[in-house]
Every structure is written in C-alpha cells, then in structure tokens.
C-alpha cells in the first residue's frame, strides 16, 4: 500500500462519518454557497509570478514543517506578498489541516483559495464551496475517468475552478476533458517521495494549450521557476519552501520580488 492508498482508505471512512453527521442540505445553508468564486486559472493567466503559496503544517514526506503559525497571518502574508493564489491543506491526519483553516483563510484574504484535499466524493466539493474555496484539486491517481468527470462537472456547476493533478502520461491521457481548468504536474513521486522538476518538463508538451499548466512540489528557487516557464508553466505551487520559515509571507514576498525583478 503506498501513501496515497493509505490516505484514501482513511478519507473514505472520514467522509462516511461526516455524511452521517452533517447532510449536504445542511452544508448548502452556508452563506458562502452564494459567494461568487474567483478564478485561479484566470488569475494565473494574468500573473507575472504565478505563485500559488501553500499553508502546510506537516506532510508524510517531511513530518513537521511549521505548526506554530496562525493561518490568518499566513493568508494575509501571502496576499500582501503578491501571491496569485493560496492553497490550504484541509486533511487532518496526514497534513495537520482542517476546514477551519479554509474558512479562516477565506476570511483573511480575497485571493483565490484552493482546497488541497484528497477528493473522492461529491460531498467534499459541496463542503469546499460551503467553506469558501474557489478551486478544488482532483488527483488522477486516485480517481477513474468517470469519477473525474462527475466531480469536475459538479465543481463547475458550483462555480469552482478545477485543478487536475497528474504524475505521469497515463494519468494525463485518461483525464483530459473540458470540465478541467488547470493541469497540475506533481513533481513528487509518492512512492519514494523524491522530487524532480523533470517530471513537469517531460509532461509539459503533452498538455493541450486550453489548460493552464501548474507545476507542483519541490520548487525552492526562482531559477527553477524561470526554467519551468520555458516549458509554458504559468502556475507554481510552493508549500514547504515558504512554510519552513518563521514568516511565510515575508519569505514569499522576497521570492516574488526576485522573480519579478
Ligand atoms: O507533501 C507530501 O509529502 C505529500 C505526500 C503525499 C501526498 C501529497 C503530498 N503533498 C501534497 C502536495 O501536493 C504539496 O503539498 C504541494 O505540491 C507543495 O509541495 P512542496 O512545495 O514540496 O511543499
């Protein structure tokens, strides 16, 4: 069993429990269901930096990264730094995140927010909207083509952007469909946890131009982004590099200034 299999097995139990406690109709009473979402894909198309800065307390690959910060401060810091969007991990068991983090980040900033979650059920998409997300992540490695279609079409119906994450060509081929906005290539091999930006570079030419290309994981230098831009990537998801510092907002600000100089 690899780490994704473990996470998904736990996620299925978690979603079943949540469904027995709070119904979809109850989620739909959230005032945030009425909020007009902001498109991350559109923001990335218009951005020079393309940085999507992540709130990440811990992870299976790195254990603890930073547990001592307020998510509101991190969100404000990222927005002030000029990040194009923010990613909020909402998984509790493996990443130390929560839906509270999502709603607190939403209250603290107006930049587009990605709910970074292991989505396997429509319930989690309604939940994402109800807690203030603008974008959902779908991971090709854990979903069939039919599931990607159903989940992405529901997200679009709710006005959310969809970022589809792939690790290889087979996942990319199986997933392409019009209800996706962004194609993310995850540079982290989830079997070995090794990161290689070559994964993004290799897959880039297989991604049709209709989708905004996002490179995810293991990005820690401005030079790496300049290289990825040569391969037509417009979005860059960065977590650990900012979160491992005492002030992720200041760290993102310095990074973005250097990138835009
Ligand atoms: O980060 C992990 O260890 C991880 C393990 C298993 C599944 C997903 C994982 N990470 C989620 C992400 O996609 C990253 O948090 C995101 O791309 C940022 O990566 P980084 O800049 O390397 O923190």
Domain spans in the chain, listed from the N-terminal domain onward: 3-260
Q: Rounded to the nearest whole angstrom, what is the distance from the C-alpha of residue 187 to the centroid of ligand 1? A: 9
**CA–CA distance, 144 with 177 (Å, rounded to integer):** 13
Beta pairing, strands 135-139 & 113-116: parallel
At 192 the pLDDT is 85
Q: What is the CA radius of gyration of the chain?
A: 17
Active site residues: 54, 56, 116, 165, 186, 216-217
**CA–CA distance, 224 with 201 (Å, rounded to integer):** 11
Q: Which of 239, 245, 252 to mutate to test the pocket of ligand 1 (most atoms within 8 A of CB)?
A: 239
CB 145 within 8 A of CB 175: yes
With a 6 Å cutoff on the Cβ, whether 165 touches ligand 1 is: no
With a 6 Å cutoff on the Cβ, whether 237 touches ligand 1 is: yes
Residue 28 has phi, psi (to 5 degrees) of -70, -5
Q: Which two tokens stand for residue 210?
A: 């209709």
Q: Which fold has domain 3-260?
A: TIM Barrel (3.20.20)
Cβ neighbours for 101, distance < 8 A, ≥ 6 positions apart: 55, 71, 88, 89, 90
With a 6 Å cutoff on the Cβ, whether 184 touches ligand 1 is: no
With a 6 Å cutoff on the Cβ, whether 117 touches ligand 1 is: no
Cα–chain-centroid distance for residue 38? 15
ipTM above 0.95, yes or no: yes
Q: Quick one: angle between helices 71-81 and 248-260, nearest 10? A: 10
Below-50 pLDDT ranges, the chain: none
With a 6 Å cutoff on the Cβ, whether 106 touches ligand 1 is: no
At 1 the pLDDT is 83
From atom 5 of ligand 1, which residue's Cα is the shortest distance away?
A: 60
**CA–CA distance, 167 with 188 (Å, rounded to integer):** 8
In DSSP terms, which residues pair with 161 in a beta bridge?
A: 135
Give pLDDT tens digits for 2-57. Answer: 899 999 999 999 999 999 999 999 999 999 999 999 999 999 999 999 999 999 99
At 259 the pLDDT is 96
Q: Global pTM?
A: 0.97
Helix (H, G, I), strand (E, B) or coil at 233: coil
Q: Which of 59, 118, 187 to mutate to test the pocket of ligand 1 (most atoms within 8 A of CB)?
A: 59
């Amino acid at each position: 069993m690899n780490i994704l299999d473990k996470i998904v097995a736990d996620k299925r139990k978690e979603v079943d429990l949540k469904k027995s406690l709070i119904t979809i109709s109850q989620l739909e009473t959230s005032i945030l269901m009425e909020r007009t979402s902001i498109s991350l894909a559109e923001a990335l198309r218009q951005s020079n930096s393309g940085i999507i800065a992540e709130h990440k307390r811990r992870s299976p690959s790195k254990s603890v990264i930073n547990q001592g910060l307020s998510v509101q401060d991190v969100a404000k810091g990222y927005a002030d730094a000029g990040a194009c969007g923010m990613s909020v991990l909402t998984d509790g068991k493996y990443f130390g995140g929560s839906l509270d983090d999502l709603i607190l980040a939403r209250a603290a900033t107006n930049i587009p927010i990605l709910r970074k979650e292991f989505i396997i059920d429509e319930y989690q998409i309604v939940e994402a909207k109800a807690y203030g997300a603008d974008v959902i992540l779908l991971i090709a490695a854990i979903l069939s083509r039919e599931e990607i279609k159903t989940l992405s079409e529901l997200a679009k119906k709710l006005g959310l952007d969809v970022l589809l994450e792939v690790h290889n060509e087979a996942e990319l081929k199986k997933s392409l469909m019009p209800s996706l906005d962004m194609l993310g290539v995850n540079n982290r091999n989830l079997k070995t946890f090794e990161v290689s930006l070559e994964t993004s570079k290799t897959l880039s030419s297989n991604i049709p131009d209709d989708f905004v290309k996002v490179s995810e994981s293991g990005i820690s230098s401005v030079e790496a982004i300049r290289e990825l831009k040569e391969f037509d990537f417009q979005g860059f998801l960065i977590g650990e590099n900012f979160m491992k510092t005492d002030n992720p907002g200041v760290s993102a600000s310095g990074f973005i200034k250097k990138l835009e100089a």
